[in-house]
Amino acid sequence: MKKSVILGALTVAACAAGAAGAATLDDVKARGKLNCGTNTGLVGFAAPDANGDWQGFDVAVCRAVAAAVLGDSSAVEFVPTTGKTRFTALASGEIDMLVRNTTWTFSRDVDLKFTFVGVNYYDGQGFMVPKALGVSSAKELDGATVCIQTGTTTELNLADFFRVNNITYEPVPIETNEQAQQQYLAGACDVYTTDASGLAATRATFEDPTAHVVLPEIISKEPLGPLVRHGDDEWADIVRWTLNALIAAEEYGVTSANIDELAAAPTTNPEINRLLGTEGGLGEMLGLPADWAVKAIKAGGNYGELFEKYIGQNTPIGLARGLNAQWTDGGLMYAPPFR
Amino acid sequence: MSGTHAHSAAFVRDRMIPQEPPPDRSIGALGWLRQNLFSSWLNAALTLVSLALIGALLAAVLPWVVHSSWTANSLSECREQIKAAYGPEESGACWAVIRERWSQLIFGFYPSEIYWRPILAFGTALGGLAPVLFPGVPRRALYLTAAAPFLVPWLLWGGTVWLPVAVAFGFVLGYAGFRVVAPWAGGILGAIAAGLVPVLWWLLLAGKAAGGLQEILPLGIEPVSSRNFGGFMLSITIGLTAITLSLPIGILLALGRQSRMFIVKVICVGVIEFVRGVPLITLLFVAWLLLNYFMPPNTNFDIILRVIIMVTLFASAYVAEVIRGGLAALPRGQYEAADALGLDYWKAQRLIVMPQALKISIPGIVSTFIGVFKDTTLVSIIGLLDPVGFSNSIRADVNWNGIVWELYGFIALMFFIFCFSMSRYSMYLERRLRTGHR
């Protein structure tokens, strides 16, 4: 029944085998599309809207890279991946880059042979409890029942935290976030623990969010960022510096509103000039047009604008900048100099 | 005599009484109720308890279903609308999510301006199946059956019209090869030619021929990539292909398993037992992960095609075993009768064995098909957005985060419609084929 498809696939396979080994940048340019691995669905970070367009904080990084490389923020083929398929998809070349809430860890970087190019969101594991429980610190949770996703690092972090503080807990294993929401609301567990961004998103869906509090303790480090395959440093540089451009743009006050004006002619700030390509030849060094960063920033805005649009205080998720504020505001977002 | 008898009996009927209608309490609705629900005290009590349970269930569910919002644009707006309309303590279904996203649950990311193509494709597929499924359909519809395997993928994936034409031409070549080779080299070499020629054509020349024809006379429709497939369209594409292909493959495997030829038998037993011994989810992971590693880098072997192959293999192994059950149920005499008539192997299978064996196996085959269709939801685990996978993506939208029952309810309803129709068809088929061995 699908003979023609078999045939098409074989033909494509034969052609593609010849082109194997070329640089990722050339592949992307030849294809005219960036294959970007994202989540099959994570609130605020990646989700299709009613028109079928992917939206979200992770998705925005894909779009920025596509804009920088191809000049078109819509030239992205989004490949939804699950926790089990994401690394294979990247390793096998099915996707050019992966932006899927992936924690930067030693073994993923070294053993799985990926290159993490930076961090677009500093997350950490937190706790949510009903206000009626009257708990104000995670250290008061002795003997609590805890809803926890099995087989994740959150499970190990939880065990560590309770052991270090010499208190006991009873785990209620659950599979997915939605299941956890149902269990937690039904009172099957006193505490729900997962990444703080996930807790905030979950809490926002409750009928009465004010009846639940997220405790102040963050018990793990989860730096989430985009990653690419080992071995193609030119491509890694492009993704890394596109992310840095978004972060630097916020620091220098370059927004999607004033970027046209700033990029039209050299300004008095040489750093902005180099970033926007009106001075120096940074784009050329990357193998991209001089206005690569302008296009990347115009795709959705600078880092701060993206944050506010998808996960910030004015969205239902309502995350505060916290660690993700600029270093000038006491956060960890720190782009190396554009020079 | 009669006189003495008349004295000894108090009453003698001397004429027939007219026929009376049965008493009211044994006919009509009342009679049905007495017979089926209240035939004894115990049954009456059980009926009342069941009614109370059903009533309680409906009382709990119906208000939720009815006190709903169809017009909101987010979950919180739904809640506000429901509270405004039905009182502050009410909670109800937020069907608005179905209103906004039904097209995605059914077509995935397929471009909305060409929704007619999958609809036409599945219409064609059903039209092609009709003459096989129902006896009343005119035989001329068999032309559609022959064309459907080429038309349907072309409509779904689009692209040049010459590719399906070139693929179909392979079958013509195969037939021609058989007619040319068989008369002077015998049936077996003819059969080999019939198999080899089209495969060589497909692998080596068909793509180029299609490309050449496309340059001379460009005819085609907008291509749609597999990544845009999703929702029920994906489930039906995988399910329908697996179902239609697994029956013939299953029959061949079942026959091979009974074959007296050692190699054929070992291969068939090996395939069946291996595939049945492995969970479908494992096969899907093989399709996604291992093939990715084994094939040359940047190979683009369509993921839907990989999944279809695996699901078809899985279904075929199960169908083969169901049919083996049917074969085993046939009395030995049927095989011997076929031999006695002087029929060769294929004629005996076609005319005597298979019609009976398949008839016996219908319920088992249809259960396997229903199972396969429902198993297509497992593809969400490898990142394909079937209805269940898509419900997760919809829930990731800030506006609809937290919606569970409405989406699952809709998906369950759709699946029920498909599976129930399959089940009804199988009952119809059993009735039609009942030739009265009772």
- C-alpha pair distances (Å), B397 with each of A40, A132, A193, B401: 11, 29, 21, 6
pLDDT for B200: 85
Instruction: Give the integer Cα–Cα distance in Å for A228 and A93.
Output: 10
> What is the helix (H) or strand (E) element at residue B160, kind and residue range?
strand B159-160
Chain B CB contacts of A315 under 8 Å are 398
Q: Structural domains in chain A?
A: 24-122+224-329 (3.40.190.10), 125-220 (3.40.190.10)
What is the homologous superfamily of the domain B99-110+226-433 according to CATH? MetI-like (1.10.3720.10)
pLDDT for A12: 42
Interfacial B residues in 75-114 facing A (CB < 8 Å): 75-76, 79, 91, 100-101, 104, 108-109, 112
Verify whether the Cβ–Cβ distance B397 to A48 is below 8 Å.
yes
Tens of pLDDT, residue by residue, chain B (438 residues): 455 555 677 888 888 888 888 887 778 888 888 888 888 999 999 999 999 999 999 999 999 999 888 999 999 899 899 999 988 888 889 999 999 999 999 999 999 899 999 999 999 999 998 888 888 888 888 888 889 999 999 999 988 888 888 888 888 888 888 888 878 777 777 778 888 888 888 888 877 888 888 888 888 888 998 889 999 999 999 999 999 999 999 999 999 999 888 999 999 999 999 999 999 999 998 888 777 777 766 566 788 888 999 999 999 999 999 999 999 999 999 999 999 999 988 899 999 999 999 999 999 999 999 999 999 999 988 888 999 999 989 998 988 988 889 999 999 999 999 999 999 999 998 888 877 655
Chain B CB contacts of A204 under 8 Å are 398, 401
Of A2, A41, A80, the CB nearest to B305: A2
Determine the distance in angstroms separating the CA of B391 from the nearest CA of chain A, rounded to an integer: 9
Joined tokens for residue B64: 């939720």
pLDDT for B184: 77
Chain B CB contacts of A151 under 8 Å are none
Chain A CB contacts of B202 under 8 Å are 3, 6-7
Please identify every stretch of chain A with a pLDDT value under 70, giving residue numbers as ranges: 1-22, 151
pLDDT for B133: 85
Q: Which of B110, B237, B300, B408 to mutate to test the interface with A (most CBs of A within 10 A)?
A: B300
Chain B CB contacts of A201 under 8 Å are 398, 401
Determine the distance in angstroms separating the CA of A103 from the nearest CA of chain B, rounded to an integer: 19
Of A1, A176, A178, the CB nearest to B149: A1
Instruction: Give the integer Cα–Cα distance in Å for B270 and B94.
Output: 51
pLDDT for A204: 84
Instruction: Give the integer Cα–Cα distance in Å for A96 and A92.
Output: 10
Give the distance from CA B432 to its chain's centroid. 20
- Is B386 within 8 Å of chain A by CB? no
Instruction: Give the integer Cα–Cα distance in Å for B244 and B242.
Output: 6
Give the number of other CB atoms < 10 A from CB of residue B37. Answer: 14
Hey, what long-range contacts does A297-300 have (CB within 8 A, 24 or more apart)? Answer: A297/A64, A297/A245, A297/A246, A297/A249, A297/A254, A297/A256, A297/A259, A298/A67, A298/A73, A298/A256, A298/A259, A299/A60, A299/A63, A299/A64, A299/A66, A299/A67, A299/A73, A300/A60, A300/A63, A300/A64, A300/A73, A300/A256
Provide CB contacts within 8 A for B36, sequence distance 6+: none
Of A46, A93, A178, the CB nearest to B404: A178
**A223 with A122: CB under 8 angstroms?**
yes
Place of tokens 């590719």: B163
pLDDT for A16: 40
Of B207, B288, B401, the CB nearest to A85: B288
Determine the distance in angstroms separating the CA of B357 from the nearest CA of chain A, rounded to an integer: 25
Determine the distance in angstroms separating the CA of A21 from the nearest CA of chain B, rounded to an integer: 8
- Is B394 within 8 Å of chain A by CB? yes
Determine the 3-state secondary structure of A173 from DSSP.
strand
Verify whether the Cβ–Cβ distance B402 to A205 is below 8 Å.
yes
Chain B CB contacts of A1 under 8 Å are 148-149, 152-153, 241, 244-245
Closest residue by Cα to residue A94 from B40, B45, B301: B301
> What is the helix (H) or strand (E) element at residue B34, kind and residue range?
helix B28-36
pLDDT for B120: 95
Interfacial B residues in 298-357 facing A (CB < 8 Å): 298-302, 304-305, 308
Eight-class DSSP state of A46: B
pLDDT for B4: 54
Instruction: Give the integer Cα–Cα distance in Å for B183 and B172.
Output: 18
Provide CB contacts within 8 A for A92, sequence distance 6+: B292, B293, B297
pLDDT for B202: 83
Of A5, A82, A94, the CB nearest to B153: A5
Closest residue by Cα to residue A238 from A178, A285, A188: A285
Structure ipTM:
0.83
Chain A CB contacts of B289 under 8 Å are 85, 88
Place of tokens 């994202």: A38
**A123 with A323: CB under 8 angstroms?**
no
Of B104, B112, B308, the CB nearest to A2: B308
pLDDT for B176: 87
Closest residue by Cα to residue A241 from A205, A286, A284: A286
pLDDT for A7: 42
Verify whether the Cβ–Cβ distance A9 to B302 is below 8 Å.
yes
Chain A CB contacts of B100 under 8 Å are 50
Verify whether the Cβ–Cβ distance B207 to A7 is below 8 Å.
yes
Verify whether the Cβ–Cβ distance B296 to A16 is below 8 Å.
yes
Interfacial B residues in 270-299 facing A (CB < 8 Å): 285, 288-289, 292-293, 295-299
Verify whether the Cβ–Cβ distance B299 to A315 is below 8 Å.
no
Determine the distance in angstroms separating the CA of A17 from the nearest CA of chain B, rounded to an integer: 6
Verify whether the Cβ–Cβ distance B305 to A6 is below 8 Å.
yes
Half-sphere exposure of A129 (CA within 13 A, CB side): 20
